[in-house]
């Protein structure tokens, strides 16, 4: 017999109702326990007293990496401001430059580049050795390849090829 799926109870209807009423009255008669969730002290604090103030030290701990990142970000910010000011000054100066002025400034660099190219070309020509190899007789080319292939592993397979 399954007590959860029965259609008939063991008590008659009037006795079951009386037992249910008795259980409900017993439950309702018990006091409900109240748990306070907060407490407020409404007494006014004294204006002065003999107790000295309680020290409340500040113990905020900052990790070394966070302090390092903060200092680095300040340095990067200051550096970018400096680079921005430098770029502004350079662009202000370039705004008032004429073509003749630009050519006069770049002329020494162009001359140095031309001289370096000429010197490099002369050195490379001097170092180039003239060799002439003359081979007489039959030339044969013989190639023999032995390939040993081994594979290890299943998921991250590794194939090794030994060519002799």
pLDDT score recorded for residue 34: 76
Whose structure tokens read 């990790």? 63
The yes-or-no verdict on residue 3 having pLDDT over 60 is: no
Distances in Å between the Cα of 30 and the Cα atoms of 17, 33, 37 are 21, 9, 22
Q: Are 121 and 111 in contact (CB under 8 A)?
A: no
How many whole angstroms separate alpha carbon 100 and alpha carbon 31? 103
State the chain's mean pLDDT as an integer. 81
The 10s digit of each residue's pLDDT in 115-135 is 999 998 888 877 766 667 777
pLDDT in tens, 35-76: 777 777 787 777 777 767 777 777 778 888 888 898 999 999
This prediction's pTM: 0.25
* Residue 8 vs residues 2, 4, 5, 56, 160: alpha-carbon distances, Å: 11, 11, 9, 70, 80
| Number of Cβ within a 10 Å radius of residue 151 | 10
Q: Helix (H, G, I), strand (E, B), or coil: what is residue 50? A: coil
Classify residue 58 by its DSSP letter. Answer: -
Residue-wise pLDDT tens digits, 8-26: 557 889 999 999 999 999 9
Tokens 């350079």 found at:
90
How would you class 53 by CB atoms within 10 Å of its CB: exposed for 0-12, middle for 13-18, buried for 19 or more? Answer: exposed
**Is 151 in contact with 157 (CB distance < 8 Å)?**
yes
For tokens 């060799």, the residue is: 131
Q: Look-up: residue for tokens 């007293």?
A: 49
64 phi, psi to nearest 5 deg: -60, -40
């Amino acid at each position: 017999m399954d007590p959860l799926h029965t259609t008939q109870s063991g008590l008659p209807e009037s006795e079951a109702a009386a037992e249910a009423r008795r259980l409900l009255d017993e439950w309702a008669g018990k006091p409900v326990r109240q748990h306070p969730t907060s407490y407020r002290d409404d007494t006014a604090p004294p204006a002065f007293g003999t107790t000295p103030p309680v020290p409340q030290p500040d113990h905020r701990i900052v990790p070394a990496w966070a302090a390092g990142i903060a200092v680095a970000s300040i340095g990067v910010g200051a550096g970018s401001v400096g680079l921005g000011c430098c770029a502004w000054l350079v662009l202000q100066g370039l705004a008032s430059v004429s073509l003749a002025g630009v050519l006069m400034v770049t002329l020494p660099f162009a001359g140095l580049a031309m001289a370096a190219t000429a010197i490099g070309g002369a050195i490379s020509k001097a170092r180039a050795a003239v060799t002439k190899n003359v081979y007489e007789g039959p030339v044969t080319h013989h190639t023999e390849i032995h390939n040993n292939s081994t594979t290890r592993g299943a998921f991250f397979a590794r194939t090794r090829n030994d060519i002799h």
